[in-house]
Amino acid sequence: MSGGSILATLALELAASVFTYRAWEADARQAGRVMNWTLVEHLSGGIQSWSFLALLTVLGFALARRGRRLLFAAPALAIAVTPLAIDVYHQSFGLLLPGLIGGFALLARDYGTWVYWLESGVKLALVLLPGAFVAARIKTRRNPFHTWAVAVMAIPAWLVGYYGVIYFSSSGQLEGWQGSGYLVAFFLGAAMGFDRPFWPWAIVALPYLSRNWTFPFFYANGAEYLLLIGLALLGTVTVPLGRVFQRAWQQDQNPDRSFAHTTG
């Protein structure tokens, strides 16, 4: 199913790229100019964004296979929803737009901003569909205290992100793409931890193995990579911390065993 979802996403992006090129070609012809690049060159420029969506789909599928019934969707949802939340926080109500958009910009120019919302919704659904299919069929239950651990570690993660905005934001304010990267890094670490198998981490490292020929999963440069690594590590701490909470709860529910353990 993940393969079919990726193919559908690629077909959508291909259609958007062809439409954009033909629209630019018509505008140039009307202005008496000639396009100085071909359709093939234009399509090759979209490989990065297409690879990013495929990577996001496979990553959600991998997280669902690890038993993360809800957290598998967190990275994609963060990218789609965070720009909206940040615009609302900044009281920028003039043009509220979700993430995962851009391919149908010219179509939105002609028909309205609802095109962006439809584009984002369709892409989000295609990205999450394979992971949702797997998560719905997982019978094993992960540690229920992991949610509490995520809530606890969200506090230091927020502090790291706060100072990250101060040092790395050119405007001094949290940008939509920046906030998305911060949340994705934290939720990614929280969803994967360091439990075996380790191969899902290889999916995250994929964009960096070929000198970023694929669209980098985190929008960062230089020292900001260290910030995102720190956020991911704070997320991974939630896995052992959740186990600590679970053991404490079990001992509290069984005081005789807890007393025997302390006296023995």
- Encode the chain (264 residues) as per-residue pLDDT tens digits: 677 888 888 888 888 888 888 888 888 888 888 778 788 877 877 776 777 788 888 888 888 888 888 889 998 999 999 888 888 887 777 778 888 887 888 888 888 888 889 999 999 999 999 999 998 887 766 778 888 999 999 999 999 888 888 887 776 777 777 788 889 889 988 988 877 666 667 666 655 554 444 444 555 566 677 788 888 889 989 988 998 988 888 887 765 554 444 444
Question: What is the pLDDT, as a whole number, of residue 87?
Answer: 84
Q: Tokens representing 203?
A: 């999916």
Q: Where are the domains of the chain?
A: 1-142, 143-264
CA neighbor of 187 nearest in space, from 99, 100, 82: 82
Question: What is the pLDDT, as a whole number, of residue 156?
Answer: 94
Residue that has been written with the tokens 């025997």 in this structure = 260
What would you report as the CA-atom Rg of the chain, rounded to the nearest whole angstrom? 22
Please report which helix (H) or strand (E) contains residue 263, including its range: helix 255-263
Question: What is the pLDDT, as a whole number, of residue 214?
Answer: 44
- Nearest-angstrom CA–CA distance, 27 and 209: 39
Handedness of CA 156, 162, 165, 167 (dihedral sign): negative
Question: What is the pLDDT, as a whole number, of residue 252?
Answer: 72
Burial class (CB in 10 A: 0-12, 13-18, 19+), 130: buried
- Nearest-angstrom CA–CA distance, 245 and 234: 16
- pTM of the predicted model, to two decimals? 0.79
- Nearest-angstrom CA–CA distance, 192 and 206: 16
Q: Which residues, other chains included, contact 177 with Cβ-Cβ below 8 Å and sequence gap of 6+?
A: 83, 219
Query: Is-contact 164 224, C-beta < 8 A?
Result: yes
